[in-house]
Amino acid sequence: MMRVLKFGGTSVGTAESIKNVRSIIESIEGPKMVVLSAMSGVTNYLVDISEELKNDNQREVQLLVKSLKAKHLDLLDKLIPSSERNITVRLVIENLFQEFNELVSGEYSENISNQILTFGETVLTFIFSEYLSSRESPNTLLNAKRFMYVGNLENPDTNKIANKIEPYLISEDRDPIYITQGFVRIDKFNRVSTLKRGGSDYTATILGAALNAEEVQIWTDIDGFHNNDPRYVKDTHPLSSLTFEEAAELAYFGAKILHPQTISPVISKNIPIYLKNTFTPELPGTKISSEITENGLKAISAKDGITAIKIKSNRMLMAHGFLKKIFEIFDNLETAIDMITTSEIAISLTIDDTRNLDQILDQLKNYGDITVDTDHSIICIVGERLIEDPSTFKLFEILNEIPLRMISYGGSINNVSLLVATENKVKALKALHKTLFVQKGKELCASH
């Protein structure tokens, strides 16, 4: 059975790391679909090129393109130094950049912007495929634009993708290696588009579901899911396993290791996901599956950029149909709600997409007095049957140190969410870590 292996930007960021990736791929038996991101930093370059094109600044566009080309040719020279093959591959890269130059010499449009943003994966996968071939590792390079038909970002049609990709899965090798681009999709209008930033994870699980893969491996520069954010909190540790639901909650509420929508395509087919570190492949990483290995507290993550909206209405709050009218405003303006709490006279809710905030507020003011708080973070505490864990009450000790704007408890038995001002986020993560993990660990040691 096929395995899907996805390698992120840092995993393919240098010649040395790409050599690591080759070793990992060659050490795994059986047929493989390898999904690659652009080199680390390249998508940022492409965003800048798109912005400069939008501002009609051709001089800056050309400087950025020149830099980008030099970066990839330097990578080529390090991976394939032999002159004959190097020259052949270089000619193709020159042609790709010539086509790219024509693309960025025209007028800006959203369609052009999407073609620009997906260029990094196109160049990198070509270089990687040629590098494997130069090391006598036969492979087939597939163009994702021929099969990644994702008209609905929330609910991709994996059967359609399966039908589209099947004709390309013809290889005479016993254990074929297929290579394709992450991040790119064809939208419902048959235009090149993207799966949003970090979307290569999503590519991997969409393909995993389409191919009925044995497993999906996501290779990054972190040893799996940690029990708290290692950027802010000391002494975190990777988790050996998570359920699909636990991982989905953590990813949605800010865990950077995984794209928020990654889990959904594989749940119904029960295809496990493994999160592994390209630079320490011997470590076990995290397995995400339907298996419940233990109940209770597992991990904490945080999501920034949250806006809280409070609607206070003595007159209407408990009236029949009031909440329906409120939710319809957000629904009509395609804005998802993260958290919600109600009281006798007020309703508070949070959003992370403020593109239509002015219109939302304009419509909400018909229903009561509106208060808006920006610069907040949702802290999500996750674990299987968390609210039944006898030690969960300890998380509320955080109230002694940090004011909480909202608490969501009981909406899911696996999740408690807290809303804090972003300026208090790191303090809150550290306090929760100390209370829920460090002190609990000491108590367990003492009891033994």
Condensed to tens digits (0 to 9), the pLDDT of residues 95-104 reads 999 999 999 9
Residues 201 and 348 occupy one common structural domain: no
Span 153-178, mean pLDDT?
A: 92
Residues 211 and 337 occupy one common structural domain: no
Span 30-41, mean pLDDT?
A: 97
The answer to whether position 21 is within a domain reads yes
**What does the alpha-carbon distance between residue 228 and residue 302 come to, in Å, rounded to a whole number?**
9
Per-residue model confidence (pLDDT) at position 196: 87
The answer to whether position 57 is within a domain reads yes
Last residue of a domain, one of 221, 242, 275: 221
What pTM does this model have?
0.89
Q: What is the CATH number of the domain that holds 182?
A: 3.40.1160.10
Percentage of the chain beyond pLDDT 90 is 75
The answer to whether position 235 is within a domain reads no
Helix/strand/coil (H/E/C) assignment for every residue in 138-176: CCEECCHHHCCECCCCCCCCHHHHHHHHHHHCCCCCCCC
The answer to whether position 250 is within a domain reads no
Residues 188 and 304 occupy one common structural domain: no
The answer to whether position 278 is within a domain reads no
pLDDT in tens, 279-314: 999 999 999 999 988 888 899 999 999 999 999 886
The answer to whether position 287 is within a domain reads no
Last residue of a domain, one of 179, 196, 221: 221
Band of residue 142 on the pLDDT scale cut at 50, 70, 90: very high
Per-residue model confidence (pLDDT) at position 175: 87
Please give the structure tokens belonging to residue 13.
Answer: 């960021």
Backbone angles phi, psi at 12, to 5 degrees: -120, 25
DSSP state of 440: H
pLDDT in tens, 242-268: 999 999 888 888 777 787 789 999 999
Per-residue model confidence (pLDDT) at position 443: 45
Residues 316 and 413 occupy one common structural domain: yes
DSSP state of 234: S
The closest alpha carbon to 160, from 196, 206, 199, belongs to: 206
Domain range for 425: 299-447
Residues 197 and 331 occupy one common structural domain: no
Residues 210 and 315 occupy one common structural domain: no
Span 339-351, mean pLDDT?
A: 89
Neighbouring C-beta atoms of residue 234, cutoff 10 Å: 9
Residues 93 and 208 occupy one common structural domain: yes
Span 96-119, mean pLDDT?
A: 96
**What does the alpha-carbon distance between residue 84 and residue 142 come to, in Å, rounded to a whole number?**
24
**What does the alpha-carbon distance between residue 291 and residue 302 come to, in Å, rounded to a whole number?**
25
9 CA to centre of own chain: 12
Please give the structure tokens belonging to residue 216.
Answer: 């999906």
The closest alpha carbon to 217, from 447, 35, 19, belongs to: 35
Backbone angles phi, psi at 157, to 5 degrees: -85, 90
Per-residue model confidence (pLDDT) at position 387: 80
Residues 308 and 199 occupy one common structural domain: no
**What does the alpha-carbon distance between residue 313 and residue 310 come to, in Å, rounded to a whole number?**
10
The answer to whether position 345 is within a domain reads yes
Q: Give ∠ CA 293-297-299 in degrees, rounded to 5.
A: 95
pLDDT in tens, 376-403: 999 999 988 888 878 788 888 888 889 9
Taken as a whole, the chain contains a residue count of: 448
Residues 54 and 167 occupy one common structural domain: yes
Per-residue model confidence (pLDDT) at position 444: 41
Residues 316 and 431 occupy one common structural domain: yes
Span 328-337, mean pLDDT?
A: 94
The answer to whether position 237 is within a domain reads no
Residues 33 and 180 occupy one common structural domain: yes
Order of all β-strands in the sheet with 273-277: 140-141, 177-181, 32-36, 3-7, 215-220, 273-277, 286-289, 241-243
Last residue of a domain, one of 221, 244, 268: 221
Please give the structure tokens belonging to residue 333.
Answer: 């303006």
**What does the alpha-carbon distance between residue 68 and residue 409 come to, in Å, rounded to a whole number?**
48
Terminal C-alpha separation, the chain = 45
Backbone angles phi, psi at 416, to 5 degrees: -125, 130
DSSP state of 198: T
Contact between 150 and 206 under an 8 Å Cβ cutoff? The reply is yes
Please give the structure tokens belonging to residue 247.
Answer: 């991982």
Per-residue model confidence (pLDDT) at position 442: 44
**What does the alpha-carbon distance between residue 245 and residue 34 come to, in Å, rounded to a whole number?**
26
Residues 27 and 166 occupy one common structural domain: yes
Q: Does the pLDDT of residue 413 top 70, yes or no?
A: yes
* Total of domains in the chain: 2
**What does the alpha-carbon distance between residue 416 and residue 413 come to, in Å, rounded to a whole number?**
8
